[in-house]
A and B are shown apart, each in its own frame.
Chain A
């Protein structure tokens, strides 16, 4: 199983809502990532988790709150978002953050629209 599964595929939320994005992998990977991709732009790294601990936060606003409850799951909690946060949110995983010679597997993303 080389899949990274993201749910939901689409999400529409109001600016006062609280919602969560979910990501799951069963490859035994110990590194998991959140990327954000605006329309017609490349993906941009948001967070890196290594062995269930947050190792990189790319200066992401606090209205985005990541969580890694176990080695297979990664959540992104959303609160008080702005319309400009509308984007495709991608989750990825890799064996760990220490090996350069290893690829990352991406999920299909959650397309988020903030209204």
Chain B
């Protein structure tokens, strides 16, 4: 499994951009980077995923470095409701390139958005 490293916690002011980094230096060429978040006492929520190119959806943007060894999740205008644990996950594939659907969660980053 490609492991991920994230800072344990980050703070962000409401209305500002939140930039959450993730290191995945052992990622393989066919592995995707996924981001999920978990608001207190709720189930994890999918945010975004990508392979090589930068991605954007209605929730966030994902910037992946050219060597794919790290990525950054950007919440463009953070609100108090974005306070959560953010997980960066590299999607596991087996040797034949077939994913068994496993999501291996690391410790994540606790993002606290302040008024």
Per-residue A-contact encoding for B46-89, CB less than 8 Å = 1, 0 else? 10010100000000000000000000000000000000000100
Bound-complex Cα distance A96 to B98 (A): 11
> Quick check: A90 and B44 within 8 Å, CB to CB?
yes
List the B residue with the shortest CB-CB distance to A103: B46
Which B residues are in CB contact (< 8 Å) with A96? 101
| Chain A: minimal CB distance from B89 (Å) | 10
Q: Is the interface of A mostly helix, strand, loop or mixed?
A: strand
B36 vs chain A, min Cβ distance (A)? 8
Known: A42-B105, A45-B102, A56-B102. A100 touches B44 (CB 8 A): no
Q: How far is the CA of A107 from the CA of B46 in the complex (A)?
A: 12
Answer yes or no: A109 CB below 8 A from chain B CBs: yes
Q: Using C-beta atoms within 8 Å of the partner chain, give the interface range for chain B.
A: 20 to 34
> Cβ of B105: which chain A residues have Cβ within 8 Å of it?
42-44
Given known contacts A90-B44, A106-B43, is B32 in contact with A33 (CB within 8 Å)? no
Consensus secondary structure, chain B interface: loop
- Across the interface, do A100 and B100 meet the contact criterion of CB distance under 8 Å? no
Tally chain A residues at the interface, Cβ within 8 Å. 29
Q: Is B45 close to A, CB under 8 A?
A: yes
Number of A-B residue pairs at CB separation under 8 A? 64
A42-B101 in contact (CB<8A):
no
The distance in angstroms between the C-alpha atoms of A80 and B44, with both chains bound, is 28
B9 contacts A by Cβ under 8 Å: no
Query: Is A97 at the interface (CB under 8 A from chain B)?
Result: yes
Distance between Cα atoms of A72 and B109 in the complex (Å): 33
Q: Mark A85-113, 1 if CB is under 8 A from B, else 0.
A: 00010101010111111011111110100
**Given A108-B42, A109-B43, A98 and B102 contact (CB-CB distance below 8 Å):** no
- Determine if B107 and A100 form an interchain contact, defined as CB atoms under 8 angstroms apart: no
Residues of B91-109 whose CB lies within 8 A of A:
91, 93, 98-108
Q: Which of A48, A101, A104 has the most CB of B within 10 A?
A: A104
Interface residues of B (CB under 8 A from A): 30-32, 34, 41-46, 49, 51, 87, 91, 93, 98-108
